[in-house]
Amino acid sequence: MSDSSTPSGWFPDPLDRYDHRYFNGTSWTSDVSNDGTRYVDPLGARPGDGRQQSAGNRAATSAVVMGSIAVIIAWIPFVVVIGGVLAVLAVVFGVRGLRRSRDEGSGRAASIAGIVMGLVGIAAAVVGVILSVIVLRAVIDYVEPGRNITDVTSCTVDGRAARVEGTITNSSDQTRRYTVFVEVDDRTEFAGIDALQAGDTADWSVDITVPAPTDRCEATTIVQGPFPFDVEVDPVNR
């Protein structure tokens, strides 16, 4: 049924497939346009009133939502990938929402906010990439300590108190830092070795309290690199 309060003309596409769609005064048509270029929508259009079917400036709303999330997570190592994508999409949708706000008369402020937050999110993503590289390098240094030779030279026990001593030789071609994990009767302690030059040997020792008194001392060792950011983690069995 015709609605005299809705004149014919071009309006933002209520189906969100194109920028604009022509309303003939009675129903929507397949006559559409993008960036001023007219097309015929092969999917057709459902009838209805332009004002009833308009859903507002959804592009502007999407820009604000994605931009907000991007600002929060884009700087986080490894999560930066998601944050960066959302930041770029916030700018894209913000620009689209800004264009549509000229026709709909709403969403301009939200579009600008989405663009700004998207740009901030992109800047945060740059920081996130740098932090990701730093974290990745620290983890690699820990799980790949480099070539070394580790020997247990003595293992003594007095009741529940065990003392294990040994040496570690840096057999790689560069200065290394090591963390030597020593296990006796399912109890583990570690010794840190700082700045051991290539080819040099350092002594290490650990004191371990075993679960029950014993007269037998059998020690096993696992060598890792320095703790990432001095945060103690479990050794990686290899």
Question: What SS3 class is residue 16?
Answer: coil
Q: Name the phi and psi angles at 163, rounded to 5.
A: -125, 125
Instruction: Return the pLDDT at 40.
Output: 84
Say whether both 159 and 212 belong to one domain. yes
* Cα 225 → chain centroid: 25
Q: What is the CATH number of the domain that holds 176?
A: 2.60.40.10
The answer to the question of residue 118 being in a domain is yes
Tokens 């070394």 correspond to: 148
Say whether both 68 and 102 belong to one domain. yes
Instruction: Return the pLDDT at 45.
Output: 67
**How far apart are the C-alpha atoms of 94 and 32, rounded to whole Å?**
22
Over residues 1-26, the mean pLDDT reads 75
| Local confidence band at 21 (pLDDT 50, 70, 90 cut-offs) | confident
Reading the block at residue 79, the tokens are 């999560």
The answer to the question of residue 233 being in a domain is no
**How far apart are the C-alpha atoms of 164 and 59, rounded to whole Å?**
66
Say whether both 101 and 152 belong to one domain. no
Q: What is the pLDDT of residues 133-166, one digit of tens each?
A: 999 999 999 999 999 999 999 999 999 999 999 9
The answer to the question of residue 32 being in a domain is yes
Would the pLDDT of 13 be above 60?
A: yes
Where is the domain boundary, 142, 157, 179? 142
Instruction: Return the pLDDT at 236.
Output: 56
Say whether both 99 and 170 belong to one domain. no
| Burial track 93-129 (b if 16+ CB lie within 10 A, e otherwise) | bbbbbbbbbeebeebbebbbbbbbbbbbbbebbeebb
Say whether both 131 and 154 belong to one domain. no
Over residues 155-183, the mean pLDDT reads 95
Mean pLDDT of the chain: 88
Say whether both 30 and 94 belong to one domain. no
What count of Cα atoms within 13 Å lies in the side-chain half-sphere of residue 46? 8
Would the pLDDT of 51 be above 50?
A: no
Say whether both 156 and 219 belong to one domain. yes
- Tell me the pTM: 0.64
Q: How many domains does the chain have?
A: 3
**How far apart are the C-alpha atoms of 27 and 124, rounded to whole Å?**
46
Domain that holds residue 154: 146-227
